[in-house]
Structure 1
Amino acid sequence: MKIKNQVNPYIYGIGRKKESTAIVYLVPFSDSNSQAKFEVNGCLGEQYFQQNFTYLNQINLPLKKVNLENQYNIIATVKGGGLTGQADSIKLGIARALCKINKLNFRSILKYEGFLKRDARVKERRKYGLKKARKASQYSKR
């Protein structure tokens, strides 16, 4: 039985880019001795993104801008796309979750930095009569 007005211990945000979709949970973290954990699809973020610190730094940018780096555990579930699209979708999910925490202060900071923009570019569909979306077979006059 679900109790009404039950306070959830986590805040979530959904981010998308290209074919990837990320559901990101921010869980409050209070232990000052250790570092907050970052988990993607059940394994560590460093392991999932293959020790690529460009992706890891990009994901942590929204938290750095609002000075909440080691205050939340990040648990993300990602589907589809490649590593770049997944990293960007996690970043958007974190930014949207941070807006739910403190909308008045964080939204203006994150919006100015461009973290709340959804990149709507997707792969163009293939058209009939063509080999790919725009590639046609070579034209021969004679």
Structure 2
Amino acid sequence: MLSSHKKSAIYSGTGRRKTSIARVKLIPGSGKLIINGMPGESYLQFSPNYLRICCAPLNILGLTKEYDIYVKAQGGGLTGQADAIRLGLARALCHINSDNRTTLKSEGLLKRDARVKERKKYGLRKARKAPQYSKR
């Protein structure tokens, strides 16, 4: 997807995980990560694990300092949002160059993790946990 008035390309991708949705925009730049208007490090609470998860597609392709990442994330918690950002980023990188797709696919970064919380059923405490059985 090409747009903008300065002839600079903006590539976008959407990622989802659990109840989180992340809309990711890639703009050629210096490698900064902005999530919901905040620096990525502070939004992800300076967790090296979440930062590693988010930037995994860029690290694998060796494009860490090539693009600025702007993310609008909503819903869920930090784990779901980090995984959603990773998927959105991987999808955006596929728009840039189709050769990226084979690399990212072999690493398993283009898979949507469909696991979501199971609904609670009536008569049970949780989705599957039943109240204690009493014989007498």
Equivalent residue in structure 2 for 1:38, among 33, 40, 55: 33
Which runs of structure 2 are paired with 1:65-80 in the superposition (5 Å)? Answer: 65-80=60-75
4+ long deviations beyond 4 Å: none
Structure whose CA Rg is larger? 1
Q: CA RMSD in A?
A: 1.2
Structure 1: which 5+ residue stretches go unaligned? 1-5, 30-34
CA offsets 1:7-66 (integer angstroms, 9 cap, x no match): 41311000011110100000111xxxxx42100001000010111111111211101111
Equivalence for 1:136: 130
Q: Does 1:12 align with 2:6?
A: no
**TM-score, normalising length: structure 1:** 0.89
Q: Does 1:22 align with 2:22?
A: yes
Equivalence for 1:107: 101
CA offsets 1:82-132 (integer angstroms, 9 cap, x no match): 1111101000000000001111x1000000000001000000001111111
Name which of structure 1's ranges 64-73 and 41-50 shifts more when overlaid on structure 2. 64-73
**TM-score, normalising length: structure 2:** 0.92
Percentage identity across paired residues of the two chains: 54
Structure 2: which 5+ residue stretches go unaligned? 4-8
- SS across alignment from 1:78: strand
- SS across alignment from 1:12: strand
Which runs of structure 2 are paired with 1:48-87 in the superposition (5 Å)? Answer: 48-87=43-82
Q: How many residues align?
A: 131
